[in-house]
Amino acid sequence: MATYISEEKPEASNRQRRTRNRMPVWPQIRPSGDSAILVEFENRISPEINRAVRALALVIESDNLPGIQEVLPAYRALMVTYDPLKIEYGRLIEQIHLSLKKAGSIDLPPRRLFRIPTVYGGSHGPDLQRVADLVHQSPEEVIRIFSRNHFIVYFIGFICGLAYLGGLPEMLRVPRLATPRMLVPAGSVGLAGGQANAITTDQPSGFNYIGRTFVNLYDPKILPPIPFVSGDEMVFIPVSEEEAWEARGRAAADFL
């Protein structure tokens, strides 16, 4: 039997081992306060990692364990809040490990595509020209690139069912406003960094807004108040201002 002798110097080998030992092993599971557990996947935003988050959320919700209060998915992490009087921390950790094993092989619900009519520019898109100048494109080219992109709904959060949309094309990535606007009208469609959004209510925001939809993205009188879920996709179809107004008040589910 042949014997292979490493030519590595002992100190170099030790450094490599120490480096490997410092590398995080994903996912990481740790407490978050006295009644929540955080499961973190790789530290980057990607559809694959978000799929792992959504799969784990689906398994935990399907198992319906007593004591679990809420399952909150985000880009690359999942928080599980629980009642420590109904389920112990150690027991929940064991369950999460079991759920992770199941999550790798389950089928997620099919992805739906929402085709949202959107009017771009003018008073409805006050930042369109500035974004065009920043990316050295015409406003028409910015609209073309943005409106052809299918944005993934990574998760729902922050305020009144706001969908966090990822997948903004690299060439449209511009920074947030230095000073956020105090009030942006509901339905405004914007972008910043690698994200896009269509806000559901009037609110402050530092995003760059290039258009607006008048489709009803949030209705607190029904359950669920928003029609889209993590994993769905949205595309913002350019229409005239008249066509945009014709969609006013209609449910986003009408545009599947």
Per-residue model confidence as pLDDT tens for the chain (256 residues): 333 333 444 455 565 555 455 656 889 999 999 999 999 999 988 999 999 999 999 999 999 989 999 999 999 999 999 999 999 999 999 999 999 999 989 999 999 999 999 999 999 999 999 999 999 999 999 999 999 999 999 999 888 889 999 999 999 999 999 999 999 999 999 999 999 999 999 999 999 999 999 999 999 999 889 999 999 999 999 999 999 999 999 999 999 9
- Can you give the pLDDT at residue 17? 57
Q: What is the C-alpha separation between 30 and 172, in angstroms, rounded?
A: 36
- Can you give the pLDDT at residue 25? 87
Q: At residue 156, what are phi and psi to the nearest 5 degrees? A: -115, 135
Q: Which residue has the tokens 């949309």?
A: 165
Cβ partners under 8 Å of residue 59, min gap 6? 99, 102, 103, 106
The structure's pTM equals 0.85
Domains and CATH numbers, the chain: 24-103 (3.30.1360.40), 113-255 (2.40.100.10)
Q: What is the C-alpha separation between 138 and 121, in angstroms, rounded?
A: 12
- Can you give the pLDDT at residue 3? 36
Q: What is the C-alpha separation between 138 and 142, in angstroms, rounded?
A: 6
| Beta strands per DSSP E along the chain | 28-31, 36-40, 68-73, 77-82, 113-120, 151-157, 162-166, 181-184, 188-192, 195-198, 203-205, 208-212, 233-238
- Can you give the pLDDT at residue 160? 84
Residue 239 CA neighbour count, 13 Å, CB half: 19
Provide the pairing of β-strand 36-40 with 77-82.
Answer: antiparallel
Q: Judge residue 169's burial from the number of C-beta atoms within 10 Å of its C-beta, 0-12 exposed, 13-18 middle, 19 or more buried.
A: middle
Q: Kindly state the tokens that stand for 197.
A: 């959004």
